[in-house]
């Protein structure tokens, strides 16, 4: 386990969130002895977000495991860095080269409880209160959902419409936590992407944001990726 303790886990938040969405996972990883860094991505375009992730990785030393939630799957797919030993997708989108996040997001039919979202006058998409309640994290506590609403950050349409570069998952080992009760990203879509990446898949009856509602399962898959690639 000692070699694992020299690693850094870089976590990347998705749309309508910030680094605090990873808080239960961060605490558990720190208790295991890992260094953890939450990459603060601006959600202004895929390339802006990729650059922010690159800056965060550059601040670390030694081997890195990169984990991304939801939209951040598109971002962690840009982590073409020799120090990145594994990618961990948590109910995350994984566009291939030339695809957009929107193309994979809308691949299958939406859940009946999925929110109807549209950009504002500035080209940013905000999550509705009912979307947080019934789709973003329907299994979260009232306290957790209230915090999500308070800290939400909108995502630019540019972020989901910019074609992805050649993805790191073609050359880096990948793990995928498939959220069977996800109301934001169709679980069928998740399975398609995970199988296309040839990921190690762990499927659970969890909602779209297991970072909050099932953090132990998220930690387990990150640890599995670390043990397989760093030991």
The CATH number of residue 199's host domain is 3.40.50.1820
CB 210, CB 178: distance < 8 Å: no
* Residue pLDDT, tens place only, 57-101: 999 999 999 999 999 999 999 999 999 999 999 999 999 999 999
Task: Quote the CA–CA distance of 189 and 94 in Å, as a whole number.
Answer: 10
Q: What is the pLDDT of residue 159?
A: 97
**pTM score of the predicted model:** 0.97
Segments forming the whole domain that contains residue 11: 2-230
Q: What is the pLDDT of residue 150?
A: 97
Q: What is the pLDDT of residue 4?
A: 67
* Residue pLDDT, tens place only, 4-18: 668 999 999 999 999
Q: Which residues contact residue 148 at a Cβ distance below 8 angstroms, ignoring those fewer than 6 apart?
A: 16, 17, 21, 132, 136, 137, 140, 209, 212
* Residue pLDDT, tens place only, 174-190: 999 999 999 999 999 99
* Nearest alpha-carbon partner for 94 in 158, 27, 152, 166: 166
Q: What is the pLDDT of residue 231?
A: 74
Q: What is the pLDDT of residue 38?
A: 98
> CA dist 39 to 19, 71, 76, 168, 230, Å?
7, 13, 10, 17, 21
Is the pLDDT reported for residue 106 higher than 90?
A: no
Is the pLDDT reported for residue 1 higher than 80?
A: no
Is the pLDDT reported for residue 3 higher than 70?
A: no
Is the pLDDT reported for residue 23 higher than 60?
A: yes
Total structural domains within the chain: 1
Q: How deeply is 118 buried, as exposed, middle or buried, from its count of CB atoms within 10 A (0-12, 13-18, 19+)?
A: exposed
Element (H, E) at 37: strand 35-39
Is the pLDDT reported for residue 2 higher than 60?
A: no
Pairing state of beta strands 174-179 and 35-39?
Answer: unpaired
CB 168, CB 79: distance < 8 Å: yes
User: Please, what is the average pLDDT of the chain?
Assistant: 96
Alpha-carbon dihedral of residues 10, 47, 84, 77, nearest 10 degrees? 100
* Residue pLDDT, tens place only, 162-174: 999 999 999 999 9
How many angstroms separate the first and last alpha carbons of the chain? 7
Q: How deeply is 12 buried, as exposed, middle or buried, from its count of CB atoms within 10 A (0-12, 13-18, 19+)?
A: buried
């Amino acid at each position: 386990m000692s070699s694992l303790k020299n690693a850094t886990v870089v976590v990347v938040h998705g749309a309508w969130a910030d680094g605090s969405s990873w808080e239960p996972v961060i605490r558990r990883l720190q208790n295991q002895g890992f260094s953890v860094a939450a990459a603060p991505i601006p959600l202004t375009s895929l390339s802006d977000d990729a650059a922010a992730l690159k800056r965060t990785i550059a601040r670390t030393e030694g081997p890195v495991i990169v984990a991304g939630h939801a939209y951040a799957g598109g971002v962690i797919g840009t982590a073409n860095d020799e120090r990145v030993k594994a990618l961990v997708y948590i109910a995350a989108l994984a566009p291939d080269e030339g695809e957009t996040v929107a193309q994979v997001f809308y691949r299958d039919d939406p859940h009946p409880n999925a929110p109807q979202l549209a950009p504002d006058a500035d080209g940013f998409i905000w999550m509705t209160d009912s979307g947080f309640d019934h789709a973003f994290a329907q299994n979260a506590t009232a306290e957790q959902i209230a915090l999500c609403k308070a800290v939400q950050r909108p995502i630019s349409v540019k972020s989901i419409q910019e074609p992805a570069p050649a993805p790191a998952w073609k050359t880096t080992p990948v793990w995928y936590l498939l959220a069977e009760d996800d109301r934001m990203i169709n679980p069928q879509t998740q399975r398609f992407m995970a199988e296309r990446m040839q990921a190690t898949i762990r499927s659970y009856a969890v909602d779209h944001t297991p970072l909050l509602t099932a953090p132990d399962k998220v930690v387990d898959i990150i640890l599995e990726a670390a043990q397989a690639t760093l030991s």
